Structures are given as C-alpha cells and as structure tokens.
C-alpha cells in the first residue's frame, strides 16, 4: 500500500500514555483534548490527520464532514458503534479498532456477573453493609451442570466459554460467522437460536450492535426461554430489549440480569438499575489497567505500522487495503488507476459512465482483484465534480453515481493482465494493460493493439484517426507549431480503419481542438 501520511493526531479521551508516546516516537505530533462538546470537536478536527477515541466521543457524520484532512479514526477498544462508519467510508477515511485489546477484561467481567447472579453476591454485600444477616434471603444456585448460551462466538465469547467450562457448565452457542467445527474445538455446540433459547439456564451476548442484533432478546424470545433464565450483557446496550427485560423480570420469566451496558449511558430510566434482581455496572468491560494499556498501545502501533506500510490490522471498513502491503501491489494499483484515467480521458465527451467491466487474467494477480477493481474506479472517478476517490471509497462512490461494476478473473495467462471496458452514453471503450519490468504499461486501447507497450507515465496524448503514412509528420508539425515536443510515438499493429495512437509529449497541449483537423477523438492526461 502506498504510505498514508499521518503527521498530526488528536486524542479526544483518556487513553493510556503509551499511545501518545509511541506516536510521538514515530514522528507524529499528538494533541490531547478531553471532554470536548460536539461543536468544539467539529471546530478542532479540521487540523488533524488522525483521531483516536474510546467510547465516549461520538464521531458523527457532522464531525467527519468537518474533517478536511482526516485519514484515520482509531478506536482504542472493540466495537465502533460510536463512529459513523458509512460517513467515514464515503470520505475515504479508515476506521480502525483494537479487536483484542479488551478481550480478557470483558470476558472476566462477564464471568464475574454470571457468578454474582448465581450467588446474589452484590445484594448480599449491600445487605451486610446495612447491618443485616439474611442467609435465607440470598439462597443461590450452583453453576455446575447448568447450560450457558453464548450468543456471539468471537474472541470474547470464546474466552467466556473456556472459563465457564471450568465451573462444569455446558456451553452452547450461536454465531453466523464462526464455523460450527471451530467452536466445537472450544467445547461449544452451535445451534440455531430457536433451539438455543429453551435450553439455557444462563444467556450471555457478545455481538456488535447492528440492526440484526438490536432487541435480540425481546418479549418473544424471553417467552421461549426457561422460566427464571438469567441473562448477562457486557457487549452493547440495546442487544437486550430493556423494556422486555423489565417485563420478564417482573413476571419471573427472567430470574436475574447482569448489565454492564445500556441503551442510554448513564441510564436516566432507573427501573432496571433499581430492580432487586439486576446487577449493574457503569460500562466497566474494558475498565482494567491492563486493557487500557493494551488498547492504547495497540491503536498507536497499528497506526504506526500502517503509516510505515508494514501491515493493516483492525480496519473495519478498508479490507481492500489488507493485501496491498508489498511492492508488487503498488505497481498493480498504479496500473489500475492509469487504465481508469486513460478511459476517463478518452470518453470525456460521452459521460456519464453507466457500466464498468473489469477482468483480470493470470494466476499472479488472482489475489489482487479486490484492490485492482478499486484502483480502476479511482482512475475513472478522479477529477469528477465533488468526488475524491481512493481505494477505500471508490466502489461506494461508483454505486452512488449509478455505475454498475462487474469484476471477473480468468486463470491461465502467463503474465498478469487487467482489461477494462466502460460504457458511457451507449458508447464502449476498452483498454488493457500489465506491469512489465516493474512499470505499468498499456497494451491495447479500443481494439487498437499497440506494437510496443506504452509506459503509463509522463504526459500522454491519445488520438483516434484513419491509418495513414502521413499521420506522424502531420501531428509532429502541428505539435511543433504549438511548442510541444514529441518524446515518443506509439502506433497500433493494424494499419487499417480508424485507430488509436499515443504520443508522449514534453508538456500537455494547451488546446486539444488544434488536433481536430487530423483526429476524430482526442484525449490527454499526465501521470
């Protein structure tokens, strides 16, 4: 991946000092400003290349759109629901988190709440502090032999399963991504939610908050559970429907709840917090010294590694960049952008684009199809009105523009070739290219196969004209009149019909209409 320049970073919350130290050690200027209101953050953010947050800062679309230089938003923790990822992606900003930084801390708190629910530890403690000795009131239950349902079998779910199995619990679970054979190797039997609910004595959720998980436990699902089921949520407020949970607690359908997160934080509606069968914490899942040190250090190291072009870890919206950390990928990205730019220039009078077909050939670029597609679109969309494409947002920008993009790959070619065909106002333009000797080259333009590959660099002038022995002298004379020198001339192998020619020139032609007497179509651009 071409290096991303990050010179200034704003840290808007209390993050471990190692975060600042690591960034500064690597030449990045750091400013820390905590507890900013939204308007203050909007006014401040325009001066920074990077922003580091925890969970309190709400990085809304308004904040993102005010950030003219922002290239990365780093969340020192898991989850990014306090960041408008769609708005960031549209602006080509990388959103990054530290997926493993607080795994152990969140898992341990989950286990602590499960144990506290089973033995009424917080309630008994408060009773003792009030001067009471109520042994019978706080009769508990063993975890041994009970069934724990784990909804979400990622890093935290896996660690919870491991710990609770040591108490003799049977662990079952559900996850739409983790393969059943993988979770089985941890001792977790996967099953559909409809089958899971009725079996559980305890349920814990470890999923992100998204439309498919909001209200996952609700009136309907509580009705399917065992009477007296106990639930824990250390993930995100809203995964358990709070109103439905209160109703289940009051009816006895739910025997207790351990809550570290709420829809509104801090919660103004105290009904759940004040319920005698609810244990609650003020969002402490990642609040350990170890987790905070780990998350602060991780986000800084991830940013530094990205800036140095070593690797990309923790990015939630820029998966296309993951395989671009090698020299070969840099040349392929340049090739894709250059082919896109050629086609954009040649079809300038025919816009808008309606369809783009990108075909890659050759085993050597099979793994590059994702970023090659994005690179071609960057070249095609660059200089469009109000459009600032990069590898992160090019696909979504094309979609917003109504462009249909198709990508295919063919094996077998000895060398890697990228072929692109665009449709604009009913007209079709094609180009193909490859990387030869470390240099991106153009092989063909709209059925004109060049005798020698054209190096895609410098000032290039393309024109379409009827084949004629006089074409070169005529063009050379006209360019000389305009004060432009010819540095190279590429003609197609075919000598019949209307063909595309390419001229490398010392400087761009000021007025393309000067060639109208010789050519049917003219385009130029600089790489």
Instruction: Give catalytic residues, as residue numbers.
Output: 236, 265, 283
Cα–Cα separations (whole angstroms), residue 370 to 362, 375, 391, 399: 14, 9, 10, 16
Estimate to the nearest angstrom the gap between the alpha carbon of 461 and the chain centroid: 37
Q: Could you give the CA distance from residue 453 to residue 490 in angstroms, rounded to a whole number? A: 8
CB neighbour list of residue 385: distance below 8 Å, 6 or more residues apart: none
Q: If you search the block for the tokens 């935290």, which residue do you land on? A: 156
Chain CA centroid to CA 104, Å: 24
- Which tokens go with 432? 């193909």
Asked if residue 438 lies in contact with residue 415, where contact means CB atoms within 8 angstroms, the answer is no
Torsion of CA 249, 255, 256, 262, to 10 degrees: -40
CB 290: neighbour CB atoms within 10 A? 12
Count CB neighbours of 154 within 10 A. 19
Asked if 525 and 337 touch (Cβ cutoff 8 Å), the reply is no
> What is the dihedral sign for C-alpha 215, 216, 220, 224?
negative
Q: Which residues are 521's β-sheet partners?
A: 464
């Amino acid at each position: 991946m071409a290096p991303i320049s990050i010179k200034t970073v704003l840290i808007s919350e209390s993050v471990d000092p190692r975060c600042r130290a690591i960034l500064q050690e690597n030449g990045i200027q750091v400013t820390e400003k905590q507890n900013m209101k939204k308007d203050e953050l909007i006014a401040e953010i325009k001066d920074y290349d990077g922003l580091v947050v925890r969970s309190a800062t709400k990085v809304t679309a308004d904040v993102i759109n005010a950030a003219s230089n922002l290239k990365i938003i780093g969340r020192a923790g898991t989850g990014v629901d306090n960041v408008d990822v769609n708005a960031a992606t549209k602006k080509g900003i990388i959103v990054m988190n530290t997926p493993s930084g607080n795994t152990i801390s969140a898992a341990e708190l989950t286990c602590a709440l499960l144990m506290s629910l089973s033995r009424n530890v917080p309630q008994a403690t408060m009773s003792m502090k009030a001067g009471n000795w109520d042994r019978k009131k706080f009769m508990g239950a063993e975890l041994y032999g009970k069934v724990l349902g784990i909804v979400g079998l990622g890093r935290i779910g896996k660690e919870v399963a491991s710990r609770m199995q040591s108490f003799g619990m049977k662990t079952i679970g559900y996850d739409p991504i983790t393969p059943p054979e993988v979770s089985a190797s941890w001792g977790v039997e996967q099953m559909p939610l409809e089958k899971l609910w009725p079996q559980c004595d305890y349920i814990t959720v470890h999923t992100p908050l998204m439309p498919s998980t909001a209200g996952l436990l609700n009136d309907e699902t509580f009705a399917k559970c065992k009477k007296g089921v106990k639930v824990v949520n250390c993930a995100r407020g809203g995964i358990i429907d709070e109103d439905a949970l209160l109703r289940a607690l009051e009816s006895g359908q739910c025997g207790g709840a351990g809550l570290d997160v709420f829809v509104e934080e801090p919660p103004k509606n105290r009904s759940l917090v004040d319920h005698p069968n609810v244990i609650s914490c003020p969002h402490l899942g990642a609040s350990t010294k170890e987790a905070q040190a780990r998350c602060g250090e991780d986000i800084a190291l991830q940013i530094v590694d990205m800036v140095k072009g070593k690797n990309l870890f923790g990015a939630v919206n820029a998966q296309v960049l993951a395989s671009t950390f090698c020299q070969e990928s840099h040349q392929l990205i340049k090739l894709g952008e250059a082919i896109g730019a050629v086609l954009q220039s040649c079809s300038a009078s025919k816009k808008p684009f309606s369809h783009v077909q990108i075909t890659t050939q050759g085993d050597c670029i099979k793994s590059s199809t994702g970023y090659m597609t994005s690179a071609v679109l960057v070249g095609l969309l660059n200089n469009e009105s109000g459009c600032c494409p990069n590898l992160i947002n090019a696909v979504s920008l094309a979609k917003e523009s109504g462009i249909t993009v198709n990508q295919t790959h063919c094996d077998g070619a000895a060398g890697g070739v990228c072929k692109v065909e665009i449709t604009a106002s009913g007209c079709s333009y094609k180009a193909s290219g490859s990387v030869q000797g470390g240099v991106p080259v153009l092989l063909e333009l709209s059925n004109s196969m060049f005798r020698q590959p054209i190096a895609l660099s410098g000032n290039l002038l393309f024109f379409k004209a009827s084949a004629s022995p006089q074409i070169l002298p005529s063009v050379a004379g006209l360019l000389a009149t305009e004060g432009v020198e010819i540095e190279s001339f590429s003609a197609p192998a075919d000598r019949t019909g209307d063909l595309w020619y390419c001229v490398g020139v010392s400087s761009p032609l000021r007025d393309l209409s000067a060639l109208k007497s010789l050519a049917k179509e003219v385009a130029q651009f600089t790489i």
